[in-house]
Structure 1
């Protein structure tokens, strides 16, 4: 089923629902869409009620100049769950989609949430202790990305292209794969992408990371390239969470078999 959920007057989110059973809700990352999770939908919809969302100003959802921040995205998620009568879901966020999950917990708590899966996103993106903490990147590098790239369409294309080739996967992308990834991002206009980028970078969800992992089953899946920092950081901040390491930033797409097995094993532990 494909549908649209109105989260405020004039703003609709595109949502797909497949299968039946316990609910899994997938939330894509910065400027990406439901399409990135196609290999998870195909697999898990055979045994689970599998829901994927285009967040506000992503994909086929309404493009709006309002609410392009993760506080609003958390509220939007609540409205989707309510409108679709989704009970006891496992929330699965990728990259900045994790911020939506944490923001939901900040606003509404963990009651009625069965578990959470957080794919390759530190709960605080920037830190003055960037050589010790798990962060999204160095402050100067993130500032340069915002200033030099996310200020015009060509810059957004170049930024996503470089990120896709250098961070998302561990192999060479074909021309068609790279074009598809860039097209995913460009459904979000550059001026909205810049807002989302800055909102994400200045977020701090360490408290929700810690408290959420104490209250509901939690799985982090982190990329290999920063696992030596991420794993000890998470073991200290959220010691009750499971932490697995796999591939690059988009490991669920590049290594779907291995990722789906990790996720399925985690889900079975909840039953």
Structure 2
């Protein structure tokens, strides 16, 4: 039976949390402007054997929209409060995209006492670099600047950006109009002016030290998308030398290739835990 609740992380700021199943806990944290709903296939699958927690970060989905704390330092603090209030321990944290930044920030602030293992889905711990041809980055500096200054200035721009990102980076197959509208609608639950704050916070983050420490402290798996697999694999081997690495699909591989993704996670958990 699924429990849906709201967890107050700051006065007047509540996060929407899904809580289903029993057993060892797996916490899923979505990426930039997205919600727990993208993990539907994982919740359905893993709740048969585990306690599965899905969190809408502040200003995402059904959580409170707030002008304060729309950055990944605050998101890491928010995650700690959710874990504490739900009395979770021996947790597997699964971050997707910018959700990985939330996980690294949580570890930076709180350490590993409550963490059993980590799964990072398709996110470099350092999104920007002037050496974009060798480092694993989100794109050349000029392209990133254009996204911030052109697209994330109004709802229409945010919508256009997410549509283009979905069809070119997130999903490998052709999506239906209904699927595209649904995915874009998930993102637009975060207002454009907050999306811009989150985008800047994510792009200026540098969690290479935390990524290295994480891979050396608890079992860690990094799953990267096909389109930048060579660069991402080489970079991860350098920065997180003890992380296992898998390659699958596009940026939203756990949604498009859910069975393959779930099998990778099952194998990781069975071997490492």
State the TM-score, normalized to the length of structure 1: 0.99
Query: CA separation in 2, counterparts of 1:114 and 1:220?
Result: 15
- CA-to-partner distance for each residue in 1:15-66, whole Å, 9 max, x for gaps? 0001000000000000000100000000000000000000000000000000
* SS, match of residue 115 in structure 2: coil
Query: CA separation in 1, counterparts of 2:70 and 2:155?
Result: 18
Q: Map residues 33-44 of structure 1 onto 2, 5 A cutoff.
A: 33-44=35-46
Number of the residue aligned with 2:158: 156
* SS, match of residue 261 in structure 1: helix
- CA-to-partner distance for each residue in 1:63-109, whole Å, 9 max, x for gaps? 00000000000000000000001111000000000000000011111
- CA-to-partner distance for each residue in 1:233-259, whole Å, 9 max, x for gaps? 111111110000000000000000000
* SS, match of residue 44 in structure 2: helix
Structure 2 residue corresponding to 1:58, chosen from 35, 57, 60: 60
Structure 2 residue corresponding to 1:89, chosen from 74, 88, 91: 91
- CA-to-partner distance for each residue in 1:194-245, whole Å, 9 max, x for gaps? 0000000000000000011000100000000000101011111111100000
Query: CA separation in 2, counterparts of 1:133 and 1:82?
Result: 36
Number of the residue aligned with 2:26: 24
Number of the residue aligned with 1:147: 149
Q: Map residues 106-121 of structure 1 onto 2, 5 A cutoff.
A: 106-121=108-123
Q: Map residues 79-228 of structure 1 onto 2, 5 A cutoff.
A: 79-228=81-230
Q: Check whether the contact 2:219–2:272 (CA below 8 A) recurs between aligned residues.
A: yes
Number of the residue aligned with 1:229: 231
Runs of at least 4 residues of structure 1 off by over 3 A? none
Query: CA separation in 2, counterparts of 1:211 and 1:205?
Result: 10
Aligned length: 271
Query: CA separation in 1, counterparts of 2:112 and 2:243?
Result: 15
Q: 1:166: how far off? A: 0.4
* SS, match of residue 259 in structure 1: helix
Q: CA RMSD in A?
A: 0.5
Q: Which runs of 5+ in 1 are unaligned?
A: none
Query: CA separation in 2, counterparts of 1:30 and 1:265?
Result: 27
Query: CA separation in 1, counterparts of 2:118 and 2:254?
Result: 16
* SS, match of residue 258 in structure 1: helix
- CA-to-partner distance for each residue in 1:124-154, whole Å, 9 max, x for gaps? 0000111110111111000000001000010
Query: CA separation in 1, counterparts of 2:197 and 2:265?
Result: 31
